[in-house]
Each structure stands twice: as C-alpha cells, then as structure tokens.
Structure 1
C-alpha cells in the first residue's frame, strides 16, 4: 500500500509539467526512479498512462482520469494529516473553481475578495467558461452553473435565476421603434454575440409555445461584453443572459424589450463533490458564495 502511495505521488508530480525530467526535479529524485515508478504503475493497472514521444510525454485518456483521482486522494491525505495536527480549523490549500463568463466582472469579484480576506490561507484558481464541466476529470472543486443540471452525483445548491433578455439603448429604440412581437426583430439592427455570425437564431415563447426567430445580424461581436457595449452605444438590439445586463438596465443605458415572449428563467446552482468528505476549504467557499449569490439582486427571478 505504501508503494502505491509513493507511485501516486510520482505520477501526480506530472500534473504541472508533463515531463519525466521535470517530475524528477520536483520530487528531488533521479529520472530512472520516476521511469520505474510509472512503469510499475502501468503494469499493475494494465493500461498505459503516458504516451512517450521525442517531444516529451502526454497523458492518455486513462492517465488523465487517474491523475484527477490521484490529486483528489493525495489532497484527502494532506487534509487528514492537517486535521490530526489540529490545523483543520482554518481552511487552507488550493481551490479550483469554474464560473460563467462575465460572472467575475458583474457578480463574483466582491464575493471572491471577501472570501479571500476571510480565508487568507486558501489560494483560489478561477476559470471562466459557459459550459457544463466534468468535475472529476478536470479536478474542479466548485462550479457555478447556469441552466438545468444534467443528472449526476454532484451536490447542487440553487442560488437564483437568470433570463435571456433582448435589449437596446433608449436612443436606438426612440429612432427605430420597439419590437412588439419577436417577428418584428427582422426589421431591426441585430447584434450577434459570436464573431463572424451573420445571422442570429433567438428562441422565444408565446402562450407556452416555442417561437424561434432567424434573422440577419448587422454586427457580430467576438464576446458578449462587446455586444452589450455595442447595444449600449446604439448599434442595435442584442440578446444575452440577464446578469451582465443588470447594471445597464438599472442605470437606463439599456432597455428591455419583448419581455412577454421571454423563455422561462434558468436556475443558477453552486455545485461541488463529496458531501461528507468535502474539505474545509470547499465547505467554507460553498457556504460563503451561496449566501452571497442568494442575496445578489441580479440573480433574483424577477429582479429586472
């Protein structure tokens, strides 16, 4: 069992730099020692964990999954030792989180700042993507996800709702008029939220029935933020989730249109793994941001 533990430590040393030489330097052992440990590991598991080439080594699919497990298990060992020493009373260590795009700018930054002040021994690594991750394979501790969750073993705590909203500047709407029904969008200047997109396809509902509109876009932007800024400067109408629009709508820089035709609100969840064995840093972070997000006005179902 002790040999297995040391082999996992050797293999996990490849996580930062997938190089046998770098792993050896990190562990202060010889290169052949690392090579033998990986060979024993692959022989016992019966699957290749690394692909070796003249350019170095890369993880196989099995190696990637095993790396995530090694990292999780070694973290648990470190936490058990810290608990035995009595240092478990203070959250500490590295915490990897996934957040939606623009969440940092409009919602999360004050919460991250407050958490880091309250728990200075925790180092937070924040990644921003609009997608559902594989928490285990990506070694993520916590994620904030928008939308209906797929069935999984993750623990989820709902913190609010957001909507997909169409909006434009008051000056643009004064000049071009407000659309009364989704079909009216075909005579408006539309701003796409993806680069090189000459058409948009926006979903609505009327009396519970789906209503999909395809129309040509006047402007296409590489980012949602660029589309919001273009709309605020009068370039046309755009459609995106409500949380980055909250300040624009409250200040009057943008105006919401077609509200009766909006799709139902989407739930926002904080998700994490390992209910019983969640580390102090995971529990502290989840509790802190769940409370903060539930109080945030941009995530209330009828906030706008």
Structure 2
C-alpha cells in the first residue's frame, strides 16, 4: 500500500464529504477510492470514517489522523519544492483566522498584497471574534489580541493595542465630558459584550485598578454596532482603539480618559511551528509582521 497516496485519498474524502466527490477531485474511479480507504483502515486497525448513503463522518481517530495526514502531505510537498529549488515560492492554500474588524481592516489588505505577489497560492481568511482552534480547524496562522494561554504554539508579537472610552462631540456637548472614571456614573453607555461586562468598566491608575459601575442603555455583540451607536450620540462606548480608528481620524468620536486606560494588550501572530514552515506561511508572517508593526504603533 502506498501510504502517501492513501493519505491523499483520505484527506480528499474528508474535505469533500463523499467518496464520489473525492474520486472526481483526484480523477480516480470510485472503487479505487473505496479500496484505498479500506486498505488504510485495515493497515491502521481503526475505523477513520463512518459511511452512510448521505455523508461521511470522521471518527475520533479519523479527526486525529486527518490533522497528522495534512501535516505529512504538506511536508512532502515542501520537500519536493525544496528539491527542485522552489522552496521560496509560496504555493497552495493558506488558512488565516483573525478578529472580525481587525481582520477586515488590517489583515485583508496584507492578504491582497500577498496574493498579488504569487499566482501559485490562495488564501482562506476566517473572520470571527471567537478564537478558533488552529489544529482542529486546520488554520495555519491566527491573529490573537490579548495575553495568550500556554498552548504549545508559537507566537510572534507584532504590536499592542488598548481599550478606549469614546463618545461623539454632540453627546459631550449635551452631557459634558467625563474627567475621571467616577464621572461615568452620570453618563449613558453603549456596551460591547465581547469586550467588557455591561455593568462595570475597569480602569488603571497609580492606585491600581478601579471598577466603575456604568449605566448601559444599549448592549450589543459587535464592535461595529457599538461604534455606530456612540457615533450617533447615544452614549459613551468602550472598544479596542483600532475599532474606532477611522472615527477618531474623522473627529466623529472623541477619545476620553486617556490617562486611565488599562495596560495595552499584545497582538500576536499564532502558528504551529514543527520543523521548517511552508513558504506560504513564512511569506505571510514576514509581510504581516512588517505591516502590522507599522499600523499598531499608530493605534496605541
């Protein structure tokens, strides 16, 4: 049994969700696909997939083997490119995960620049404010904001950002400008559930951290909505500095209580580092490090 070929068939079947679709992708007859998967399972002594008339479902062993198979096939492809002198040419699909707004505003331009440089690669950009599992979801690089837990993954810090309180000039003219965090008790707020609790905000000072009760007139689950509501004059909001950067530049929002802002949060590029990274990953990391380091200095 050719194990590399069997892994290729297995990965194709997992990706496509059916044996017939895997056969079409690999230009291989359906009986050959079925036989190679059966031979692989017999060799391993475990079932990798459960088959029904409608779909294929990975077993627990199959999910683990899929991650390992992808890594092995990537290494084989990289070794072949190195052997023919193509290790510096990025090829294949690169999967990147990033927070929604940050990814749209800062990662997408990097991706477009990278793609303009190489015709032999493509990118799947996953934008979500929920942290994805890199290994389980086959993500090559993730942008993470905040202190990272120990995970065995490699992190490259590219800058820092902080949480900011802001409001529209119209709101401040009507309600006054808070000078200290305690003044927030007299103001209306728009809270973003992904960042801070809706009942209190924390601030830093020489005396330590202070939690200040606030009145949340509106609670939303995206930063876009919080920024839009604050810009319209509904109240003060607190978001990450990059999430309101364009409004600050246009003077439609005013940054408040700067001397009480908390310690900035690190921004990292997170990836699994086992051996030599594929060229596609190395090229993205180099370009993203350069571009984000420039942007995040301004965003502090």
After TM superposition, the score normalised by the length of structure 1 is 0.87
1:252 aligns with 2:233: no
Aligned to 1:240, what secondary structure does the other structure show?
strand
Q: Structure 1: which 5+ runs fail to align?
A: none
Aligned to 1:244, what secondary structure does the other structure show?
helix
1:25 aligns with 2:15: no
Contact residue 158 and residue 289 of structure 2 kept, 8 A: yes
Q: Structure 2: which 5+ runs fail to align?
A: none
1:277 aligns with 2:280: no
Contact residue 42 and residue 48 of structure 1 kept, 8 A: yes
Q: Residue deviations 1:248-291, cap 9 Å, x none?
A: 22332111122233221000111222264101111111111101
Query: Who is 1:74 aligned against?
Result: 73
Taking the TM superposition and a 5 Å limit, the aligned residue runs for 1:159-174 are 159-174=158-173
Query: Who is 1:242 aligned against?
Result: 241
Counterpart CA distance in 2 for 1:9 and 1:115 is 27
Query: Who is 1:218 aligned against?
Result: 217
Contact residue 185 and residue 215 of structure 1 kept, 8 A: yes
Task: Give the length in aligned residue pairs.
Answer: 299
1:5 aligns with 2:13: no
Query: Who is 2:113 aligned against?
Result: 114
Aligned to 1:87, what secondary structure does the other structure show?
coil
Counterpart CA distance in 2 for 1:208 and 1:146 is 26
Counterpart CA distance in 2 for 1:198 and 1:67 is 39
Q: Residue deviations 1:216-237, cap 9 Å, x none?
A: 4222334211211221121211
Contact residue 146 and residue 267 of structure 1 kept, 8 A: yes
1:105 aligns with 2:104: yes
Q: Residue deviations 1:137-182, cap 9 Å, x none?
A: 2211112111111223322221110011111111101111122333
Contact residue 187 and residue 215 of structure 2 kept, 8 A: no
Q: Cα distance, 1:133 vs. partner?
A: 3.2
Aligned to 1:157, what secondary structure does the other structure show?
strand
Aligned to 1:77, what secondary structure does the other structure show?
helix
Contact residue 198 and residue 216 of structure 1 kept, 8 A: no
Counterpart CA distance in 1 for 2:59 and 2:173 is 58
Query: Who is 2:132 aligned against?
Result: 133
Q: What is the alpha-carbon root mean square deviation over aligned residues?
A: 2.6
1:228 aligns with 2:245: no
Contact residue 104 and residue 127 of structure 2 kept, 8 A: no
1:153 aligns with 2:144: no
Query: Who is 1:287 aligned against?
Result: 286
Between 182-191 and 140-149, the greater mean CA deviation after superposition: 182-191
Query: Who is 1:61 aligned against?
Result: 60
Aligned to 2:16, what secondary structure does the other structure show?
coil
After TM superposition, the score normalised by the length of structure 2 is 0.88
Q: Cα distance, 1:117 vs. partner?
A: 1.9
> For residues 88 and 43 of structure 1, do their structure 2 counterparts lie closer, same or farther at Cα, with a shift above 3 Å needed?
same
Taking the TM superposition and a 5 Å limit, the aligned residue runs for 1:40-51 are 40-51=39-50
Q: Cα distance, 1:17 vs. partner?
A: 1.9
Contact residue 97 and residue 143 of structure 1 kept, 8 A: yes
Aligned to 1:149, what secondary structure does the other structure show?
coil
> For residues 277 and 61 of structure 1, do their structure 2 counterparts lie closer, same or farther at Cα, with a shift above 3 Å needed?
same
Q: Residue deviations 1:4-36, cap 9 Å, x none?
A: 222211110123321222223323334343333
